[in-house]
Amino acid sequence: MKREDALKEILSSLKKNPTDTNAKKLISLFGITAEELAEEGLSYEMLRALDGVLL
């Protein structure tokens, strides 16, 4: 899986279920940052909910 694919999967999963554990695992595995998620359209509220997971 490429980083871009992981980012798309994370966004899709979090929009369906904000507590999705697979999305959180992918964030950790690929070292996805809050900035990357925000650039892809993830809401501020969702980013705040992920504070403990994001680098």
The pLDDT value recorded for residue 52 is 79
Residue linked to tokens 């871009």: 4
Residue 31 located in a structural domain: yes
pLDDT over 70 percentage in the chain = 98
Helix (H, G, I), strand (E, B) or coil at 19: coil
Residue 54 located in a structural domain: no
Count of structural domains, the chain: 1
* Mean predicted lDDT score pLDDT of the chain: 90
Residue 55 located in a structural domain: no
The pLDDT value recorded for residue 30 is 95
Q: How confident is the model at residue 55 (pLDDT cuts 50, 70, 90)?
A: low
Region 25-32: what's the mean pLDDT? 94
| 7, amino acid identity | L
The answer to whether 3 touches 30, Cβ cutoff 8 Å, is yes
Domain extent at residue 7: 3-49
Q: CB neighbours (10 Å) of residue 24?
A: 17
Residue 15 located in a structural domain: yes
Alpha-carbon distance of 50 to 48, in angstroms, equals 5
**pTM recorded for the entire structure:** 0.83
Residue 28 located in a structural domain: yes
